[in-house]
Structure 1
Amino acid sequence: MVLRNSTRLSLLGMTSFIALAAFPSLAAAQDEVSAEQDEGGVSTIIVTAQRRDENVQDVPIAISAFNQEELARRGISNALEVAQFVPNLVGLNNTGLGTANAYYLRGIGNTESIATFDPPIGTYVDDIYLSRQNANNLSLFDVNRVEVLRGPQGTLFGRNTTGGAVNVFLNEPGDEFAGYVELGYGSYDQKLARASIDVPLADSFAVKVSGYWQNDDGYAINNLTGERTNENDGWGVRLGLRGELSDTARWTGSYIHTFADSANLLNFDCDPTNPANCDGRFVATGLTENGTFDSAIFGPLLTGDKNGYGLGNRATMDFISSNLEFELSPDWTLNIITGFVDIGQKFALDFADGRGLPSTSNPVPPVVGFTFGGFTISNEGEHTQFTQEVKFTGSIADGLIDVVGGVYYFYEDNRTDFGDIFSLNLGPGGPPPDGFPLILADRTLTNTAEAWAGYLQADINLTEQLTVTAGIRYTDEEKTFDIRDNRARVGNSSLCRAAAQFGPSTCIDTVNLIATNGRAIPTKQSVDLWTPRFAINYAVTDDVLLFASATRGFKSGGWNARGTSPTELLPFGPETAWSYEVGAKTELLDRRVRFNVTGFWLDVSDLQTPSAFIRPNGSLAFITRNFADYENKGVEIEITTVPVEGLNLFASVGYQDDEYVIDANAPALDEFGVQAVAAQQADCLNQLAAGRLPNAAGADNAPACGVGIVAPDGSIAEPVRTPDWTVAIGGSYDAEFGDFTLTPSINANWRSDSEVGTSEVTLFDQSVTGPSGAVFPSNTLGLGNPIDPASGSFSPDRWIVNASLTLKNVAGWSLIAECRNCFDEEAVESALANFSYLNPPRTWMVRAKYDF
């Protein structure tokens, strides 16, 4: 404990040193700099966090903002990499899906991508909300800036922002003919091409055409099949338009099409087929890229096109945005903002590496290489959304009151056709590689969401220094849910049959949605609520702003659509959050140092928590419920400094202390017959007292332990992906040599240990004996050492270091050499079914770029 605290203090000291070390240089250069104050110092970033243009330092909200220069300086090339530099933000690729980002900000997040779940961190592109996580790992090839708003944004951004918002703004077409071309080559035979060109067609109209293409072999190798996987292939094009229609009207719009072929399959640092080989990343599934789900014995296992999918994940997105702006008067502006998004996704992913799932009875399942995977989901999704917003901004009484308000409409339509296969090594399927493919489910889900909202915020400028803010949003939303089993019916009954199924089973169908207590599961949810915001800010000087705020946000309810029986398709309600912040935004020493600090307290009711566990038959079960309330409190510090011309240093520190809060007096069963967490915890403690073992098999099992948010030892589990500490430090220096500029850049980010699995289940290597006398070779009680390769939810602390070297010529040429995760640090990012998912390994790339 002493060592750990010393490490944390050292990190804090290191971060503060970046700013303090610059002070002597700043003092000496004070007189020289003052005359050039507007040109030197930290860069000014204009943001729209309050839906109008403002200096980021004037906004009483915790924001991390990155303009084009800063994105390039830190080597950020996609939306996921931004997370490394934001305090108390954890970003990761979803399990299996390389196209989907999951964000956890101040402990609020969601790893689910199925359409009945909504992400609590909203992603916006040019003010257009992206409701699905399936394709939100945006390649930042034509981006002007990225804003990360920490904390609920329920007043100005609306639904599904209980944790915050990631806002991406694209470059508008320029007034002059200009652009760039870029080519790159890197590790795993990665090839990259990017280009953009601005074409002014008239004084009042211009277009921008840009695009990218990337391809690589994949960093993980399968020595069973000879294939490589976990590639990051794709391409995208964008047409940007800008028209100055008159002196008081302008229009901007974009059309974007992207295609991504990117997976994040379970992989290991040592080859499961040859554990002595630990040089690389390895998978061992028998499912192949060109494979299908056609069984020689049972015929097609799944229905529809998804039966022909091979291993991989492919997503396409078409994005259309339009912003028509009218200047109604010198003080008032009206914007009509329209968006359309169409996402298609096709994947077949093996979440069990072609074998059984780890358990206390079998902690390291032997390699089998099942042809159809160990636990496989094959999915075809179609997701469309339309948004329409009318926004107005202006001021009243000669600037006494600044106003932003509007109305917002949202409609979403989703269709998901997906099937689950669990392979067993028994029955008429015979021995591996085919095994016996048990079809857990094959169904088509359709669901819609429609919402209306109105919002209004007023900033009352009581004096030149003191501003009071009040805002309110009203949202009225309705969701519908319908599901249809794809398997053939037995006559006209509610039973259905699959060729590879043990006899008939109850169809997963809307008409059969009945909970275990006999209550009908609703197929419609409606909610209407108010989300206010209050803030006060005081400008001590032009360079020091103090602020405090209270903000409410909410996230829509949904259904546990990954269930494989009708009784599991339960609804969960909305989650709501209140966030309280106090902070200071400062620019010191002639803008050579920017120092921002925020303290927060987050209070969430009915937190939506996805969880997964292994059933007694060895298959994987999913459940999402409003298990508990949630509280988090912490501090965030961000420092940027330019001590001398050309030298840019930054640091950020986040600290958080969070916990689930359960209702100790809740009824033992809820309205759908699901046990309350308090009752489950009591049962778990009783089972442990009787000598039963968590996550074991048969009569020795303590079934209430290590499930949901009850940990194996009977305690309430730690919230997931909320490391106590997150730290980022880095810098760059522009060294000029005549017509050339050489810029070395380095950054490192650290986070303390955390849990990444809801139930805190990690397998340890000490054997334990159950009440029946059965001996289990591993346990989940923390006895012994973690199983290697890692099986479970514990993520140790880790450093990730990135670096680059750029040589730039005044003629427009530049050459960039870079590495990411330069020291090849391995870190557990996620866990599913007792398997651990690692971060990507070290990669490098050399790029050549020409600006014209």
Structure 2
Amino acid sequence: MKKIFLTSTTALCMAAMPAHAQVAEQQAAESVSTDEADQNDGLNVIVVTAQRRQESVQDVPIAISAFDSAELERRGVSSALDIAQYVPNFVGLNNTGLGSANAYFIRGIGNSESIATFDPPIGTYVDDIYISRQNANNLSLFDVQRVEVLRGPQGTLFGRNTTGGAVNLYMKEPGNEFAGYIEAGYGSFERYMARASVDIPLADSFAVKVSGYYQDDEGYAKNTTTGERVNENDGWGVRLGLRGELSDTARWTGSYMHINTQAMNLLNFACDPANPTDCDGRFVTTGLSRDSNFGGRLSGEKDGYGLGNDTNMDFVSSNLELGSGEDVSVNIITGYVYTSQEYALDFADGRALPSLSSPVPAVRGYTLGGFTVANEGKFSQFTQEIKVNASLGDGLVDLVGGVFYFEEDNYTDFADIFSIPTQPFPPFSTVPGGFPLVLADRTLRNTTKAYAGYMQGDLNITDQLTLTAGIRYTDETKKFSVSDNRASCNDGTVEATCVSNVNLFAQNGTAIPRETSTKIWTPRFAINYQLDNDTLFFASATRGFKSGGWNARGTTPSELLPFGPEKAWSYEAGVKSELLDNRLRVNLTAYYLDVTDLQTPSSFNRLDGSVAFITRNFADYVNKGIELEINAAPVDGLNLFASVGYQDDKYKIDRNAPLFDAFGVSSVASQQAACQAQLAAGLVPGGGAGEATNCGAGIVAADGGLAEPIRTPDFSFAFGGSYKADLGGDLTLIPSINVSWRGDSEVGTNNQSIYTGSITSSSGTVFPSNPYDGDFIVGSFSEAHWIVNSNITLKSYDGWSISAECSNCLDQEAVATSLAQYTYLNAPRTFLIKGRFEF
């Protein structure tokens, strides 16, 4: 869906800023941390609001990675997804199909599902406004002030859906002087881009910022069936930011943005499946084209959709701050977001899904795709928060607290189409390019209302020792409704196969509830000791929770099962230090994460070859690890960084759980026992009906053990740097290189992959491939890989600059995710040359 929206847009949003007296302090700190940093004989000073108040990042007793605008430019970061390369134990990826949607995994906690009955466990915030839908969170970093990545649960100060952490973006406000920039560039795959921004002070107390961007490319993958190019990243956006200094104790910021984006992340291959000797580029073979339609098979507007993804977002924010001196301030923060999304995407490349019998399915070019989802969605959300900051007793106690209200209303009209080979008899023989079966066509409506109150206090016992305690209470209610769009389900009768409210029963006959309610307390405790001005020791215990929901991807009524909230406790201890006269910064954190009722989405191939989805609270989860971040400025103009992440995680299951839960779903323990019995009998996992069907499903791996948790390589690291060289004549040259490495990992919940080498079942069936070992063909396994990015900029003090940059410079092919055993690769190497003029 497009690297997207909030894209320049994001920049648009302008909320949650400090009181009038604090603003001058913040702006001074920002000036130190950007252009003047190289002149100050040391590292940037970055002011963050990870505890909902302004502090130096080195004073916050939280595992946090913060990047100001100068650091983002040095590392060539242009979207929220790019940040993940540089944060320890953080994995980011585009969702399958949708280039506009990011799935974040921090310390093993994440979710790649974007349908509206699922909530992401990594909260995304733009200027303190929560972005609830994961299908629109790949924000293009345009006019960004800073990015903060908070690792671990943030359930006290940020609330729901932060069991893994939070990604907070803060945008630049309108400036006090008339200034701005224009930028244009050209790059790989006929990419054109342009950006512009201008600050316009209309009075001493009021200013506006007007920004816009445009980008267009032809797409990095070639469809050798239709001749089209796909996986483009097109879009445009405009934003208006407002700032008013109403009085010495009153300040308001507001923003509006509109963003349109079209972007896909279609399944593609490094060699052309229709001509395997052609490995020059990326290739797609679906027969679904941009001019396609579904010929009356589907209801509503989506019947006319062709291949593509089109998303629009409107974002409105307001932050009124009232402050009485330096001791008390009140923020009234209001946000409204409306998103519409239309797409038709093929998740099976116009052919069958991989299996042991056919690990590389023949190219079919089915005209309506192999497994296609057509979707029309409309999502609106409203948030209201009142936040109070106070300092009492001459600095003895610092308090932050408030109340929060969230309301969301979602509409999703979507259908699943699965194509099968044409048969030599009617009606199948009348359909060219495969016969499309409509697995489901339904309309989903769901709402959320949540109320919360929170309070956190710091007791500054001495200048060195601080004790922190906080608590949040959340009361949340969710409602869910579904109706079948097919004519046979709307002719006065509702058959048992209709995906409608009246048929919502599990296979054991238990009614599936359409309303859930969660009431929960999420506390936080911390202690930090400031050994001296340069060294901080801290320890903390924090709780978080993620909302429950429904398995709305199901195509039969009995599959639309609910899943409960997941809850997490995280225990951290660490040290933050600045050494060598502020030329070396070393931050080290150790953590233990304990999650109860982990929500785990899983997909698998049904016996008929179609895709089934299931999400359950399969197990508990434990992850322990270490995170190290180093920044250095050994000499003026040279900036270096390195980060290392280590994690050791596993699922935990109840070995004494009942054989079946309340909805008739087998427990993991009983499923694992059944799998091991099937393996002992010589049956083969992934072999279809009559084979080891309990293996390679859910979190039970093909070998009968519990699967490895996904996207948690044991080790990951990143390093790089930049150097500002003075060429004389008012010119500087700034080269930079940034390298990241991740170890082996799994990206599919069931760890199911297909390897070379035949295997024979006790049933007598000989499969040409196997689920255990050999050369990797397709599936869940992601091999260790390097990603290298670099750029070089020639800059003049007169305001102009020219830069050349490359992403994935070595053109490394890496498995990012998988769906139904198909493997999704990362984006290929791209180049971009751009010019910029600042005034």
TM-score range, shorter chain: over 0.9
Q: Deviations over 1:240-275 (max 9, x none)?
A: 000000111000011111111000000000001100
Q: Does 1:535 align with 2:526?
A: yes
Letter in 2 for 1:183: A
CA contact (8 A) 1:494 1:506 kept: no
Q: Does 1:95 align with 2:92?
A: no
Once residues 114 and 62 of structure 1 are traced to their aligned partners in structure 2, the CA distance between those partners, rounded to angstroms, is 30
Q: Does 1:835 align with 2:822?
A: yes
Compute the displacement of 1:772 (Å): 2.4
Q: Does 1:708 align with 2:698?
A: yes
Compute the displacement of 1:488 (Å): 1.4
Compute the displacement of 1:493 (Å): 5.9
Q: Deviations over 1:575-623 (max 9, x none)?
A: 0000000000000011000100000000000000000000000000000
2:718 is matched with which residue?
728
1:284 is matched with which residue?
285
Which secondary structure state, in structure 2, belongs to the residue aligned with residue 777 of structure 1?
strand
CA contact (8 A) 1:494 1:507 kept: no
Compute the displacement of 1:511 (Å): 1.1
Q: Deviations over 1:459-515 (max 9, x none)?
A: 00000000000000000000000000001136866545xxxxxxxx61000111000
Compute the displacement of 1:362 (Å): 1.1
The one of 368, 384, 390 aligned to 2:386 = 390
1:422 is matched with which residue?
418
Compute the displacement of 1:135 (Å): 1.0
After superposition, the Cα gap between the structure-2 partners of 1:210 and 1:129, relative to the gap in structure 1 and judged at 3 Å, is same
1:468 is matched with which residue?
467
2:767 is matched with which residue?
776
Once residues 492 and 835 of structure 1 are traced to their aligned partners in structure 2, the CA distance between those partners, rounded to angstroms, is 38
Q: Does 1:549 align with 2:540?
A: yes
Once residues 777 and 668 of structure 1 are traced to their aligned partners in structure 2, the CA distance between those partners, rounded to angstroms, is 35
Compute the displacement of 1:403 (Å): 0.2
1:242 is matched with which residue?
243
Q: Does 1:308 align with 2:299?
A: no
Q: Does 1:487 align with 2:461?
A: no
Once residues 155 and 698 of structure 1 are traced to their aligned partners in structure 2, the CA distance between those partners, rounded to angstroms, is 48
Which secondary structure state, in structure 2, belongs to the residue aligned with residue 307 of structure 1?
helix
Q: Does 1:374 align with 2:370?
A: yes
Letter in 2 for 1:747: N
Which secondary structure state, in structure 2, belongs to the residue aligned with residue 702 of structure 1?
coil
Once residues 219 and 407 of structure 2 are traced to their aligned partners in structure 1, the CA distance between those partners, rounded to angstroms, is 37
1:332 is matched with which residue?
328
Letter in 1 for 2:482: I
Q: Which piece of structure 1 moves more, 548-557 or 485-494? A: 485-494
Letter in 2 for 1:458: G
Once residues 410 and 101 of structure 1 are traced to their aligned partners in structure 2, the CA distance between those partners, rounded to angstroms, is 22
> 1:840-851, aligned counterparts within 5 Å?
840-851=827-838
Once residues 595 and 316 of structure 1 are traced to their aligned partners in structure 2, the CA distance between those partners, rounded to angstroms, is 42
Once residues 651 and 463 of structure 1 are traced to their aligned partners in structure 2, the CA distance between those partners, rounded to angstroms, is 34
Compute the displacement of 1:223 (Å): 1.2
Q: Deviations over 1:703-745 (max 9, x none)?
A: 1000000001100000001111110100000000220000010
1:444 is matched with which residue?
443
> 1:136-175, aligned counterparts within 5 Å?
136-175=137-176
Compute the displacement of 1:435 (Å): 1.4
Compute the displacement of 1:433 (Å): 4.0
Root-mean-square deviation (CA), in Å? 1.2
2:17 is matched with which residue?
none
Letter in 1 for 2:594: D
Once residues 226 and 39 of structure 2 are traced to their aligned partners in structure 1, the CA distance between those partners, rounded to angstroms, is 61
CA contact (8 A) 2:746 2:781 kept: yes
Compute the displacement of 1:40 (Å): 1.9
Compute the displacement of 1:37 (Å): 11
1:202 is matched with which residue?
203
1:567 is matched with which residue?
558
Once residues 557 and 130 of structure 2 are traced to their aligned partners in structure 1, the CA distance between those partners, rounded to angstroms, is 32
CA contact (8 A) 1:128 1:387 kept: yes
CA contact (8 A) 1:249 1:324 kept: yes
The one of 765, 775, 781 aligned to 1:794 = 781
Letter in 2 for 1:412: E
Runs of 4+ in 1 over 6 A off after TM superposition: none
Q: Does 1:803 align with 2:804?
A: no
CA contact (8 A) 1:802 1:820 kept: yes
Q: Deviations over 1:758-796 (max 9, x none)?
A: 0011001211122221211112122x3222xxx100000
Which secondary structure state, in structure 1, belongs to the residue aligned with residue 302 of structure 2?
helix
Q: Deviations over 1:138-158 (max 9, x none)?
A: 111121100000000000000
Once residues 562 and 806 of structure 2 are traced to their aligned partners in structure 1, the CA distance between those partners, rounded to angstroms, is 45
CA contact (8 A) 1:405 1:454 kept: yes
Q: Does 1:362 align with 2:358?
A: yes
Which secondary structure state, in structure 1, belongs to the residue aligned with residue 776 of structure 2?
coil
Letter in 1 for 2:460: N
Compute the displacement of 1:328 (Å): 2.6
Q: Deviations over 1:536-586 (max 9, x none)?
A: 000000000000000000000000000000000000000000000000000
Q: Does 1:672 align with 2:663?
A: yes
Once residues 387 and 211 of structure 1 are traced to their aligned partners in structure 2, the CA distance between those partners, rounded to angstroms, is 25
CA contact (8 A) 1:286 1:433 kept: no
> 1:547-626, aligned counterparts within 5 Å?
547-626=538-617
Compute the displacement of 1:313 (Å): 1.3
CA contact (8 A) 1:41 1:591 kept: yes
2:455 is matched with which residue?
456
CA contact (8 A) 2:489 2:498 kept: no
CA contact (8 A) 1:425 1:431 kept: no
1:517 is matched with which residue?
508
After superposition, the Cα gap between the structure-2 partners of 1:455 and 1:561, relative to the gap in structure 1 and judged at 3 Å, is same
Q: Deviations over 1:171-210 (max 9, x none)?
A: 0000000000000000000001000000000000000001
The one of 409, 418, 422 aligned to 1:413 = 409
Which secondary structure state, in structure 2, belongs to the residue aligned with residue 384 of structure 1?
strand
Q: Deviations over 1:316-339 (max 9, x none)?
A: 111111000001343000000000
Once residues 158 and 648 of structure 2 are traced to their aligned partners in structure 1, the CA distance between those partners, rounded to angstroms, is 26
Which secondary structure state, in structure 1, belongs to the residue aligned with residue 570 of structure 2?
strand
Once residues 492 and 263 of structure 1 are traced to their aligned partners in structure 2, the CA distance between those partners, rounded to angstroms, is 37
CA contact (8 A) 1:361 1:697 kept: no
1:826 is matched with which residue?
813
Q: Deviations over 1:380-400 (max 9, x none)?
A: 010100000000001111100
1:222 is matched with which residue?
223
User: Which runs of 5 or more residues in structure 2 are unaligned?
Assistant: 1-36
CA contact (8 A) 1:465 1:540 kept: yes
2:637 is matched with which residue?
646
Once residues 785 and 512 of structure 1 are traced to their aligned partners in structure 2, the CA distance between those partners, rounded to angstroms, is 45
Once residues 733 and 371 of structure 1 are traced to their aligned partners in structure 2, the CA distance between those partners, rounded to angstroms, is 52
Letter in 2 for 1:366: A
Once residues 216 and 39 of structure 1 are traced to their aligned partners in structure 2, the CA distance between those partners, rounded to angstroms, is 41
Letter in 1 for 2:525: F
CA contact (8 A) 1:87 1:726 kept: yes
Which secondary structure state, in structure 2, belongs to the residue aligned with residue 134 of structure 1?
helix
Q: Deviations over 1:260-315 (max 9, x none)?
A: 10000000000011000001000000000111011xxxxx1110000111111121
Matched residues, number: 799
Identity across matched positions, percent: 65
CA contact (8 A) 1:577 1:604 kept: yes
CA contact (8 A) 1:425 1:432 kept: no
1:30 is matched with which residue?
none
> 1:112-123, aligned counterparts within 5 Å?
112-123=113-124
Once residues 555 and 494 of structure 1 are traced to their aligned partners in structure 2, the CA distance between those partners, rounded to angstroms, is 38
The one of 651, 672, 685 aligned to 1:694 = 685
